[in-house]
Chain A
């Protein structure tokens, strides 16, 4: 009976792992610093402009769906919600990077951000596609679990 239970749990663990998306955390030495800089510059510029009452003007650094979703009006609305809950944006720092997809198509750059009303750091997540374009952008409470 006991080996049966062990085998069951082994299958359960393997199954749960295989269900997860193709995500892999990069070692510090494997991280492309130039890509991290793209993500940091974008997030910093986006949040600083929103903080000062302006809006981020997209050029050619993001994919169409991101540009179309984050209109000036949406940016203001998002920042107001963020500000009411966590306060004004202060600063951000790099935390870690993950690659996503079988061919490692996307790079997930996780940054930690400080906000005036929050005693906890928030996650500022920027996703870059294969051509280093912004393919995703989120701000949410930090978790060590992705």
Chain B
């Protein structure tokens, strides 16, 4: 039983490498497709916007850049700080798989009542609540992904995780703003 529940916040003891990359990639494409049909923009690591205003490629670029920058900075952190041999595929795969909680908000937005709504409405507060919960879940998964794939511990782990997040957020935001 504890084994099963740990899959929700740390599946990376069982899944890594290609076995995390392939389902993670499929998950990213599903999230992107749902985001496109519902107009749910993940325009930064911790940003969400609701607008059916762009083509599919724009949503795909958002998804890929959100994953790519964090994966790059985490891989570089692992390379520079870890004494272990870091495999790029572990970092790519586990960070991809960590994004799975982001499927929830666009799934909810497929319901007609969540398609367009007032700024001051229960739909908006509900969606932001769901997004916040999925963001926290994502961060927990990402932290474990980083910890396991880069084999870092204690202060090095926490500091490099925070720095990677901040740098990825800056790069993602600048990149996405440049293509609007």
Using a CB–CB cutoff of 8 Å, the interface residues on chain A facing chain B are 13, 16-17, 19-21, 23, 25, 96, 112, 118-122, 141-146
Q: Closest approach, in angstroms, between the C-beta of A144 and any C-beta of chain B?
A: 4
Q: Which of A16, A119, A143, A146 lies in contact with B122, CB distance below 8 A?
A: A16
- Add 12 more A-B contacts to A118-B180, A144-B116 (CB < 8 A): A16-B120, A19-B120, A20-B118, A96-B116, A119-B58, A120-B53, A142-B52, A142-B53, A144-B52, A145-B117, A145-B124, A146-B116
Across-interface contacts of A96 in B (CB, < 8 A): 116
Residue of A nearest to B116 (CB): A144
- Whether A13 and B122, one on each chain, are in contact in the complex, defined by CB atoms closer than 8 angstroms, is yes
Contacts of B51 in A (CB 8 A): 120, 141-144
Q: Which residue of B lies closest to A16 (CB)?
A: B120
B53 CB to closest chain A CB (Å) equals 4
* 18 sampled A-B residue pairs with Cβ under 8 A: A16-B120, A16-B125, A17-B121, A17-B122, A119-B55, A119-B58, A119-B180, A120-B58, A120-B180, A121-B54, A141-B51, A142-B52, A142-B53, A144-B50, A144-B52, A144-B115, A145-B116, A145-B124
Q: How far is the CA of A145 from the CA of B124 in the complex (A)?
A: 8
A120 near B54: Cβ-Cβ < 8 Å: yes
8 Å CB contact of B121 from A20, A118, A121: A20
Interchain pairs with CB closer than 8 A, number:
60
User: A residues within 8 A CB of B124?
Assistant: 145
Q: Which residue of A lies closest to B55 (CB)?
A: A119
B49 at the interface (CB under 8 A from A): yes
- Partner of B118 from the list A13, A23, A112, A121 (CB cut-off 8 Å) is A23
In the complex, the chain B residue whose C-beta lies closest to that of A142 is B53
Measured between alpha carbons, how far is A78 from B125 in the docked complex, in Å?
34
Q: Please, how many angstroms separate the alpha-carbon atoms of A6 and B154 in the complex?
A: 39
Asked if B179 is at the interface (CB within 8 A of a chain A CB), the reply is yes
Nearest residue (CB) in A for B58 is A119
Chain B residues near A143: list those with CB within 8 A.
49-51
CB neighbours of B117 from chain A (8 A): 25, 144-146
- Complex: how many Å from CA A120 to CA B59? 11
Complex CA–CA separation, A20 to B117 (angstroms): 11
State the Cβ distance, A57 to closest chain B Cβ, in Å.
Answer: 31
Give Cα distance in the complex from A13 to B125, angstroms.
9
Question: Which residues of chain A have C-beta atoms less than 8 A from B119's C-beta?
Answer: 20, 145-146
CA of A23 to CA of B124, assembled, Å: 15
Q: Which of B55, B58, B117 has the most CB of A within 10 A?
A: B117
A128 to B177, CA, bound (A): 34
Contact A17 B49 (CB under 8 A): no
When each residue 41-59 of chain B gets 1 if its CB lies under 8 Å from chain A and 0 otherwise, what string results? 0000000011111110010
